[in-house]
Amino acid sequence: MPQMNQESRKTGKGWCLFFSKSASWVLGFLIASILPATSRLFAGDAVAVGYNSEGVWTAVTYYSSSRPKGGKDYKTDKEAQEAALRDVRKRSEHEVASAKIIASSDSTGFAAVARGQTKSGQDVNVVGRGETQNQADKEAFARLSAAGASAKQKIVYRYFSHGADSK
């Protein structure tokens, strides 16, 4: 069975992928520019965030292939992204004005989706990866700290995904 999960938040002030709206647009542009050329090579998982019309995140969800390549629910990177985006729109408790992929991977391994807050109260969502769940958790917390989100750090989701290198 594919793994798809979702978390919603009460809408309020402040949102942030890393530091500001401009940083998220730059990251989104880079992801959108790189993925089309490489999507045939990827497989496995994707993490999506839904935003309301004011740019406040309202839901976070992920899709991960729970079976190795060739298995019933195995998806390519592009298919996993499409599934995560579809799911974040479907499951959000609030209207989703826009949604974007904040991370995807072609690797087999563990992942941790984490959230924290900056000193100004803005939320930051990140994904850490590793060969063990502990490594993924530590990477996620390190990414939050690097983004200046040292308050209210927590792991939202933990999962394992089969990537293109799985058998």
Question: What's the rounded Cα separation, in Å, for the pair 90 and 99?
Answer: 11
In the predicted model, is pLDDT for residue 158 greater than 90?
Answer: yes
Residue 149: predicted pLDDT:
95
pTM metric for this prediction: 0.70
Residue 128: predicted pLDDT:
95
Tens of pLDDT, residue by residue over 55-114, are 888 899 989 887 877 878 888 888 899 999 999 999 888 889 999 999 998 788 899 999
Q: Assign residue 152 a region (left: φ > 0; alpha: ψ between -120 and 50; beta: otherwise).
A: left
Find residue 155's DSSP bridge partners: 114
Residue 118: predicted pLDDT:
95
Residue 23: predicted pLDDT:
43
Tens of pLDDT, residue by residue over 110-157, are 999 999 999 999 999 999 999 999 999 999 999 999 999 999 999 999
Q: Looking at per-residue confidence, does 3 or 48 come out higher?
A: 48
Question: What's the rounded Cα separation, in Å, for the pair 35 and 129?
Answer: 19
Domain ranges of the chain: 3-161
Give a three-class secondary structure readout of 104-128. EECCCEEEEEEEEECCCCCEEEEEE
Tens of pLDDT, residue by residue over 14-52, are 434 433 444 444 444 334 434 333 333 335 789 999 999
What's the token pair of residue 113?
């989706």
CA neighbor of 61 nearest in space, from 70, 72, 52, 49 = 49
